[in-house]
Amino acid sequence: QVLLVESGGGSVQAGGSLRLSCAASGDSYGSYCMGWFRQTPGKGRERVALVDRAGTTTYAGSVKGRFTISQDNAKKTLYLQMNSLKPEDTGMYSCAADPILGRLWIGDPAYWGQGTQVTVSS
């Protein structure tokens, strides 16, 4: 079992930055692919960024060049650095983990965090 707890959300103006953190606890942290998703009123759930077990990262086209996913395996923490934020980035951001990349890719991971709210004003 893995427990995921997000933090770092808040309200910022367009063009600002936030860094989200996802602290993991449990067993076999290094064996999981991890990622960030967001839930928005207009678009529903979106895949934002993923990192697989080899460290390869992928991003949604809408955030590529602005967001960076990273992790500190020693601290068992996943991060999402968000720069040049836009109002369209507003939503509830959740981290997720699954040993199988494909299941994470389609948004059906074994583990979800509770989410942290990000609000970007114009």
pLDDT digits (tens, 9 = 90+) for 3-13: 999 999 999 99
Nearest to 114 by CA among 35, 7, 33: 7
CA dihedral 6, 10, 14, 20 (to 10 degrees): -20
Nearest to 104 by CA among 45, 32, 38: 32
pLDDT at 71: 93
What confidence tens digit (pLDDT) does each residue in 63-108 have? 999 999 999 988 999 999 999 999 999 999 999 999 999 999 999 9
What confidence tens digit (pLDDT) does each residue in 27-58 have? 777 889 999 999 998 888 999 999 998 999 99
CA distances from 13 to 3, 64, 84, 90, 103 (A): 31, 19, 10, 11, 34
